[in-house]
Amino acid sequence: MHANPVSISLSSYGAELVKQHGQAHFLNLLAAAGVTRVELREELFSCAPDTAALSAAMAALRLECLYSTPLELWTEQGLPDPQLAPKLATAHALGAVALKVSLGHYRDGCDMAALARLLPGPGPLLLVENDQTVQGGRIQPLLGFLQRAEDLGLSLGMTFDIGNWQWQGETARQAARQLGRWVRYVHCKAVQRLGDGRLAAVPPNAADLQEWAALMAAFTPGVVRAVEYPLVSDDLLALTRAQVRALAALGRRAAAREVPSHA
């Protein structure tokens, strides 16, 4: 049966380890573990990435690439962040299928025409993620933005982070019902409240996986789903393989209708 495509956000291996070795160091491991896509993280590069070398290495291993930046799409002034254009250019140089950003300060009246002028034709798809902030981690602002973008015919989509909704007291099920048709990429993370009251990403248990499988019904069959929770082990290959198998199985019945991998 067709296996659903799985991505690994390299932040999952821990910022310190990734910065120590470099993101390219992990590409062979991902390919050996059966990963479809690597999510490169801007904040984990210690200097400007060698986009040509990284692109060639990923292509040789038949890994798709998504480029993630902590950029907030909308400034408090209601304009798209001017750094969007260079971020899109970096994603294009990497051969990335998509650029992932967060929503930022979207509200009615934001200059959507200015955003339209920044979006490329062929090239990386812009994906807007629900983050953990008040401005970017709630359903209604994202729903308003995505509906407006659709009305204007803008080519973009959503990264749906299952765990991030908890930071703003939203439920993933409700978010999936309202936003599911725009979702092109799914970040998977379980969430645990620590002793000091803070929330933290953790690996899933059986109940989490069952919940995630139910959420997948709201999304396009075969949507790429990503590990974005800690992967810590003396045998990272074995652990990564196990997590890839677990996420690939989510919504497998729906994925029997094969859909090409897309951002």
**pLDDT (tens place) for every residue of the chain, 263 residues total:** 458 999 999 999 999 999 999 999 999 999 999 999 999 999 999 999 999 999 999 999 999 999 999 999 999 999 999 999 999 999 999 999 999 999 999 999 999 999 999 997 788 999 999 999 999 999 999 999 999 999 999 999 999 999 999 999 999 999 999 999 999 999 999 999 999 999 999 999 999 999 999 999 999 999 999 999 999 999 999 999 999 999 999 986 443 333 334 45
- Residue 181 tokens read as 């048709």
Alpha helix (H) residue ranges in the chain: 15-21, 27-32, 51-60, 84-93, 112-118, 139-151, 172-179, 206-215, 236-248
Separation of alpha carbons 181 and 111, rounded Å: 24
CA dihedral 167, 170, 173, 176 (to 10 degrees): -90
pLDDT of 123: 85
Q: Does domain 6-256 fall into CATH 3.40.50.970?
A: no
pLDDT of 252: 67
pLDDT of 121: 78
The residue type at 166: Q
First to last CA, the chain: 22
Question: Residue 204: left (phi > 0), alpha (psi -120 to 50), or beta?
Answer: beta
pLDDT of 2: 59
Would you say 243 and 202 are in contact if contact means Cβ atoms under 8 Å apart? no
